[in-house]
C-alpha cells in the first residue's frame, strides 16, 4: 500500500494528466481554468474528483465530466474514479491561471 506521499504523488499525477482535458468553448485545460476543485485518492487508488463548469447547464458538462473521468482513470495506480459536479462555489474568471 502506498504511504501518504504515494497518495500525494498519485493526486499530483492525476492533476497533471487532467491538464490534457480541454474545455471546448474556452480552449484551455480544465485545470488552468480552475474547474477542478478537489482531487483525492484513498489507499487503494480510488479517486474522488469534484469539479464545476463555467455555467450551470453548460452544454459541455457531460463531455467534460466524462473526459475528466477517463483521463484520471488512465493514470497508473488509479483503480476507480468518481467525478462529482458542483456549482458551489460558482466558477468565475478569477479562478483561471494567468
Q: Is the peptide bond before 19 cis (omega within 30 degrees of 0)?
A: no
- pLDDT confidence of 1, banded at 50, 70, 90? very low
Query: Which CATH number do you get for residue 72?
Result: 3.30.300.130
**What's the grid cell of residue 78?**
488509479
Using pLDDT thresholds of 50, 70 and 90, give the confidence band for residue 91.
very high
Question: pTM of the entire structure?
Answer: 0.90
Alpha carbon 41 to its chain centroid, in Å, reads 12
What is the number of other CB atoms lying within 10 angstroms of the CB of residue 85?
18
Residue 77 CB burial class (10 angstroms; 0-12, 13-18, ≥19): middle
d(CA 84, CA 50): 5
- If one counts the domains in the chain, the total is 1
Tens of pLDDT, residue by residue over 30-85, are 999 999 999 999 999 999 999 999 999 999 999 999 999 999 999 999 999 999 99
Range of the domain at 25: 4-95
Amino acid at each position: 500500500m502506498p504511504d501518504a506521499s504515494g497518495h500525494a504523488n498519485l493526486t499530483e499525477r492525476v492533476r497533471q494528466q487532467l491538464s490534457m482535458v480541454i474545455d471546448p468553448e474556452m480552449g484551455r485545460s480544465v485545470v488552468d481554468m480552475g474547474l477542478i476543485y478537489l482531487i483525492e485518492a484513498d489507499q487503494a487508488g480510488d479517486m474522488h474528483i469534484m469539479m464545476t463548469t463555467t455555467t450551470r447547464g453548460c452544454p459541455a458538462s457531460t463531455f467534460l465530466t466524462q473526459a475528466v473521468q477517463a483521463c484520471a482513470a488512465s493514470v497508473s495506480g488509479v483503480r476507480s474514479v468518481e467525478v462529482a459536479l458542483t456549482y458551489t462555489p460558482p466558477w468565475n474568471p478569477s479562478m483561471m491561471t494567468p
